[in-house]
Amino acid sequence: MLDPALLRGHLADTARRLATRGYTLDTAAFEAIEAERKRVQTETQELQNLRNTRSKAIGQAKAKGEDTTALMAEVVGIGDRLKANEQALAEVQERLAALSLGIPNLPHESVPEGSDESANAEQHRWGTPRAFDFAVKDHVELGAHKGWLDGDAGAKLSGARFTVLRGELARLHRALAQFMLDLHTQEHGYLECNVPLIVNADAMHGTGQLPKFEEDLFATEVGETRRYLIPTAEVSLTNIVRDEIVEADALPLRMAAHSLCFRAEAGSHGRDTRGMIRQHQFEKVELVSIAKPSESFDEHERMTRCAEVVLERLGLPYRRMLLCTGDMGFTATKTYDLEVWLPSQATYREISSCSNCVDFQARRMQARWRNPDTGKPELVHTLNGSGVAVGRALIAVMENYQNADGSITVPEALRRYMGGTERIA
């Protein structure tokens, strides 16, 4: 969530910056609630001071042997008023918190303004899309061989947007995840973690999925306990530092996890219904960094580069896009998307998104570090990125490495994970 000082002291400027994201801040509502909070809080403090003063007067009167009946009755009355005011203050603060939790992060000054993806800014490209001398198949056609990619079986088991992988294609999918984890842990310095796939509401609040995006989440209920299936391992990894104070020499804390991810994809009906591009259940290798504020933008560049190396080692053409204000996620202040070339669509499609959230998530989680210069705890900066989406990487490998006979050449980087296999057919 945003620093309350920005809303209280720079409301108009904050509203203007939020408007570039397509978010309209109800400044009148905020000012009304904030004015009520100040009034009730001032009254509460005055009542507390009055009660303390009268309590001292009672002690002094008793010491003198004077009658304290009237003073004691007054203190009781003050106590009743104070209790009512404290309850009213708590209610106002809850309303203020509810409003604040729905406000997205502010865009960084380097982010281009725009309402949608058409305003995203290309940073660079890598690789040259392959020229085919035969009719290109998409990943669904390629996966139909021997039933390797079976959407019908997935639908029978679970419904639309689920897929069953079999045989060598399932093995290739596993090889991709193993390759990514080894690269990030052995060469890029991330600590491998295995994290829960089901988390509590506090974890979802901490990284910003709740309360705003509850319709996009899958949830479980056992008795009266409600938990959520993670949409990304970012949730579990980032919340490891919730309510913690991290020592300076432990930063940046870099973590990686390969996990299943679950998304209801609310509002995406009719989009990417063919194949594996947009699934309710998929896998990702997620990267998370917990950084000092002074280092987070350098860490953002580093994280994005780590994801790019995955695509380069696989020989997949891609481009890096700087997202505009209107296309960024709720918690991000700056985001790079990596888009991989898909021959069947003759276009680039997102395969990784790397974001710097600065202190937005940390404030919700109360995740802090101890600044050695002051000795005091301060909010950390949190970053997350896909390193990369395993299913989309599988699609990209299938399509970019397809052969005229429908076979798929295994990228050299994956062959040691495939027992030396050079081609699946």
pTM: 0.93
Question: What domains can be seen in the chain, in order of their start residue?
Answer: 26-102 (1.10.287.40), 117-424 (3.30.930.10)
- Are the beta carbons of 386 and 237 closer than 8 angstroms? no
pLDDT of res. 425: 87
Annotated active-site residue 301? The verdict is no
Catalytic site residue from 51, 161, 320, 392: 392
Annotation-wise, does 247 bind a ligand?
no
Task: Report, as ranges of residue numbers, the positions in the chain whose pLDDT lies below 70.
Answer: 267-269
Could you read off the pLDDT of 185-194 as tens digits, one per residue?
Answer: 999 999 999 9
Annotated active-site residue 350? The verdict is yes
Catalytic site residue from 166, 227, 242, 278: 278
Annotated active-site residue 392? The verdict is yes
d(CA 281, CA 285): 14
Annotation-wise, does 265 bind a ligand?
yes
Annotation-wise, does 325 bind a ligand?
no
Annotation-wise, does 234 bind a ligand?
yes
Annotation-wise, does 286 bind a ligand?
yes
List C-alpha distances in Å: 389 to 16, 257, 298, 420: 34, 12, 23, 24
What three-state secondary structure class fits 246? strand
Annotation-wise, does 240 bind a ligand?
no
Catalytic site residue from 17, 21, 51, 263: 263
Annotated active-site residue 263? The verdict is yes
Annotation-wise, does 233 bind a ligand?
yes
Catalytic site residue from 259, 296, 344, 353: 353
Catalytic site residue from 244, 350, 378, 415: 350
pLDDT of res. 68: 87
pLDDT of res. 267: 66
pLDDT of res. 90: 93
For residue 35, how far is the Cα from the chain centroid? 32
d(CA 304, CA 296): 12
What is the per-residue DSSP string for 112-172?
PP-SSGGG-EEEEEES-PPPPSSPPP-HHHHHTGGGSEEHHHHHHHT-TT--EE-HHHHHH
pLDDT of res. 268: 66
131 Cβ contact list (under 8 Å, min separation 6): none
pLDDT of res. 271: 72
Residue appearing with tokens 């080692």: 313
Could you read off the pLDDT of 205-224 as tens digits, one per residue?
Answer: 999 999 999 999 999 999 99
Using omega within 30 degrees of 0 as the cis cutoff, is the peptide bond preceding 343 cis? no
